[in-house]
Structure formats: C-alpha cells, structure tokens
Amino acid sequence: MESLKDRVAIVTGASRGIGLGVATELVRLGARVCITARSPEPLAAAVTELGGPDVAIAVPGKSDNADHQAEAIARTIEAFGRLDMLVNNTGINPVYGPITDVDPVAAAKILAVNVLAPLAWTRQARDAWMGAHGGAIVNIASVAGLHPSPGIGMYGISKAALIRLTTELAVELGPGIRVNAVAPAVVKTKFATALYEGREEQVSAAYPLKRLGVPADVAGAVAFLLSDDASWITGQTLVIDGGVTLVNAL
C-alpha cells in the first residue's frame, strides 16, 4: 500500500482501541494523521506513541459537535497541507437491554454520534478538501448492524444505518471520493470489554477462527480500503469477524 505514503488522514475516536490501531497502521505505512477523542490527556499520549507532531496531531472534542469537526479539519490542513482520508471510528453504546426500554434521549444520542456525526464529518471533509482533490472514507460499522443483536439492539440499529449511509454516500460522492465500511465482530478493546471480560475463552469458542479480534485485524483492512489498491471499490462493507457470522453467533 505504497499509495498511503505522505497522505493525510483524520481518525476519530483514536486515543485507544480500533481508532488508535488504525492511526498506528497508517503512520507505519507513511501517512500522517490527526486523531480525535473527547479527552486531551489520552490523545496526547497517543500522539507520542504514534511518533510525535511530525506525523500526528490531536484535536480533542465531541465527535458530534460541528465546531469540533471544523476545527479538526482546519488544523489538519494547516499542519499537513491536505486531507486525503477520513476514518469515522467514534461510536457509543451507553445502554443495554431491549430497544423498547431504551430512553428516547439515549436513543437519539446513539444515532447522533454513530450515524449523523459520520455524515457531518464527511460533509465537512468534502467541502474543505476532498470535493476538489478526491479522497477515501471508511466508516467503522459492526456485525451488530447486519443481524439482530439482542441487548445492544439500539447500537445495532445505528450501525445498520451507518452501513446504509455508506452506500448512499458512495453513490453521491463518486467518482472523486470513495466511501466504504468495515463491520468487525468483537474486538478486544476497552469499549467492548463487557462482551467478553471474564469469559473470553467461551466467547471465542463460537468463532471458527477461535479467537477474538484485536485492533490490528481491523486496521489492516481499513488501510487497504483507503489505499489505491482499493481504487475500484466503493460502497462496500467488509466483514471482519473471525468467521462468527457464518455460524450466526455473536
């Protein structure tokens, strides 16, 4: 993926987990990155881990805040001179249980962060750079968006909407901007801890590949979709799941 050298990406929600894994892989391949998250301290530590300000900057803020989106994009272009790639990774899942019991305010917040924020980031990236120069976008969805996901149904609904959003944006923004998604199963991150903590062996037994994912499993696929190696791929959702959806298990 030589084409990623000297390109510039924004990766949202990248102070840890999948987002940091993606940013790490992009830097390894020669790109420069702007990472975002809510808390400044973990972001600063992540920038150091990535190699410092020559290759990474951080802009703290809430992913669904329009001013934060604009600031991150402006600072990225100011620091690195361009914006070729966007990875919409930030996602929330603050509730557990039947969707009929989810507070409407919480449901609206899930949709705002997991669906409307990626749309807003995409719009701002298009207007600031990609519309004139081209680019590639990857949305981080989930296998929960592909089939019923009891207990995390509202999260699954939001990820299903994100997958659908990906296809619509691919049609609207082509040919200059490609838009794809990845749909991971359980990846060992702090965000997903409740899904496997204390029973990882039991959970992973349901996977044909007999292990849970790690951020690097997702990062390589995202880097491929952003690269010129995927130049004839748009509107697709790549399932990264250790085979678990083949056996209809979560």
Structural domain boundaries in the chain:
2-247
Q: Measure Cα distances from 146 to 138, 142, 250 in Å.
A: 17, 7, 11
Residue 42 has a pLDDT of 96
Average of per-residue pLDDT across 6-21: 97
Query: Nearest 5°: CA angle at 25, between 21 and 250?
Result: 40
| Numbers of helices and strands, H then E, in the chain | 9, 7
For 174-227, how does the pLDDT look when each residue is reduced to its tens digit (9 = 90+)? 999 999 999 999 998 877 776 667 787 888 888 999 999 999 999 999 999 999
Residue 1 has a pLDDT of 75
> Is residue 57 a contact partner of residue 34, using CB atoms and an 8 Å limit?
yes
Q: Is the peptide bond before 175 cis (omega within 30 degrees of 0)?
A: yes
Q: In the structure, what pLDDT confidence band is assigned to residue 8 with cuts at 50, 70 and 90? A: very high
Concerning whether 155 is annotated as a catalytic residue, the answer is yes
Residue 190 has a pLDDT of 78
Residue 49 has a pLDDT of 97
* Residue 201 exposure: Cα atoms within 13 Å on the Cβ side: 0
**Which residues are paired to 32 by β-bridges?**
8
The domain over range 2-247 is classified in CATH as 3.60.70.12: no
Average of per-residue pLDDT across 73-94: 97
Residue 72 clears pLDDT 70, i.e. is over it: yes
For 107-157, how does the pLDDT look when each residue is reduced to its tens digit (9 = 90+)? 999 999 999 999 999 999 999 999 999 999 999 999 999 999 999 999 999
Residue 23 clears pLDDT 70, i.e. is over it: yes
Q: In the structure, what pLDDT confidence band is assigned to residue 63 with cuts at 50, 70 and 90? A: very high
